Structure 1
């Protein structure tokens, strides 16, 4: 299951996400979304967990929990909506 994590403190690392979610089961990947120009965190990321039961337990336990002093938002990631292509000049 792909899990969305929002309201991340900008200093949170992918390893910290992996450790937090790893308490509930196997984490196959963790990814923090960064600005492509500055490299700075955009304040959200994703964790992939292969076992849905473990993933749901992590979502229930970590939603509104504090990570680096900020309450994080955790839920099942929704598929990205198709956006129209932007014209290139």
Structure 2
């Protein structure tokens, strides 16, 4: 019985070998031609990607220049009363010249004002006139007026990206531990 099964398996393997076409030199040439075609397609796609990247870089450069130009004619106004409206801030700075936009920044979670604003003027020369209003009183508070600075991506920490963010500080303290005496009322102390 085992011998019959063994013979059937051998017959089956021989039939499979006969069905496979013999390896010829023509197949290799076809494969090489197909590979060359794929390489050419990949190279043309890479060229398209480089072209798209160059277009995006140019657009980003234009946006950055526009942003720098807007920032050059804008001021930062700090210590703004939380109840102040953009119209009131515009009225306060109207003496400096034509104002394009007043933006009071809000906390994105609570919707409450953050206590500062940006004022964009029509001309960069008006910024110098607005700086005279530094320490002026608005709704009972002394305003802090300085030229708006342009944020440069990746320059926020001084050394670019990748500042230390490990789970333990450089002295080995667990993250979030501030040290010092904790005071009373912190859990169970048997003695």
Task: Sort the TM-score into its range (normalised by shorter chain).
Answer: 0.7 to 0.9
**CA–CA distance in structure 2, aligned partners of residues 72 and 14 of structure 1:** 14
- Secondary structure of the 2:96 match is coil
Unmatched segments (≥5 aa) in structure 2: 1-72, 155-160, 162-191
Task: Name the structure 2 match of 1:21.
Answer: 93
Moved more, 18-27 or 48-57: 48-57
Unmatched segments (≥5 aa) in structure 1: 85-89
Q: CA RMSD in A?
A: 1.4
- Secondary structure of the 1:79 match is coil
CA contact (8 A) 2:74 2:124 kept: no
Larger radius of gyration: 2
> Within the alignment, does 1:63 sit opposite 2:134 as a pair?
yes
Which structure shows the bigger proportion of residues in helix conformation?
A: 2
> Within the alignment, does 1:80 sit opposite 2:151 as a pair?
yes
Which structure shows the bigger proportion of residues in strand conformation?
A: 1
> Within the alignment, does 1:52 sit opposite 2:110 as a pair?
no
CA shift digits 1:31-88 (9 cap, x unpaired): 000001111100001000022232211211x10001110001001100124256xxxx
Aligned residues: 83
1:12 Cα offset (Å): 1.1
> Within the alignment, does 1:10 sit opposite 2:118 as a pair?
no
Higher RCO, 1 or 2 (CA under 8 Å, sep at least 6)? 1
- Secondary structure of the 1:15 match is helix
- Secondary structure of the 1:28 match is strand
Task: Name the structure 2 match of 1:36.
Answer: 108
